[in-house]
Structure 1
Amino acid sequence: MAGFTTHRLRVHDAARPPHRRLSALRTCLTEFAPYDFYATCHHLCRSAGIPRDLDEDPGSLVRAVEELDEARRLWLAELAAWQVGRRAGVRRADPAQVSCL
């Protein structure tokens, strides 16, 4: 099964029809949704301005997936720092288990 990065690239592929690019964005949300699927989807639709008719603004899908990717990169960096600290004996909450809300 393809991962987040593969589906992110599919969202960027302008040769794909908009509904397929939206489907790739939704698959990215199944891989990483900081709030939960629906709340994160709603947030991205609002912040990136995804219209009901995707032909009006296909670039909104790219804005949405890039925002999601940036959040994922920050989370992965925090997780990596936690893992290093954990190996060194530092005790703190696992960022993968802490709620974002």
Structure 2
Amino acid sequence: MSSFNTHRRQVHDEILPPLVRHTNLRSCLVNFGPYGFRATYHHLCFSAGIPKHLEKDTDSLIRAVEELHHARQLWLADEHAYADRHRSEKARGVRRSRPVKPARSRVELRKP
């Protein structure tokens, strides 16, 4: 399975046909879909304005993947903060973390 960043780069590649770029956007959603695949895809179609005929606005794919990338960066930062906090609490002998691990669904998709 390819990584999120690999598919993101291919969405940005304007040499590729729009349908291939769209497929790569959907592959990004397989790797990271905070609301689930369908709900996140629907949200991105609405917020980035992805048209039914991709040739009309190929830049919408870039807007969508960048919005998804921004949300993923926020989620990864939360994951790293949780892991660091958990590691330090464990080193101090605290066996149970106070807050629950953040869920993917708590990350909001926002435009950068």
Q: Which runs of 5+ in 2 are unaligned?
A: 90-96, 108-112
Measured in 1, the distance between the counterparts of 2:84 and 2:22 equals 36
Q: Which runs of 5+ in 1 are unaligned?
A: none
Question: Match for residue 87 of structure 1?
Answer: 87
Structure exhibiting the larger radius of gyration computed from Cα positions: 2
Q: CA deviation at 1:100?
A: 3.0
Measured in 2, the distance between the counterparts of 1:98 and 1:8 equals 19
Q: Runs of 4+ in structure 1 displaced over 6 angstroms? A: none
With the length of structure 2 as denominator, give the TM-score of the two structures.
0.85
With the length of structure 1 as denominator, give the TM-score of the two structures.
0.93
Deviations, residues 17-74 of structure 1 (Å, cap 9, x unaligned): 0000000000000000000000000000000000000000000000000000000000
Q: 1:64 to 1:99 in 2, by over 3 A?
A: closer
Residues 1-101 of structure 1: matches in 2 within 5 Å? 1-89=1-89, 90-95=97-102, 97=103, 99-100=105-106
Q: Alignment RMSD, CA only?
A: 1.4
Which deviates more, 83-92 or 38-47?
83-92
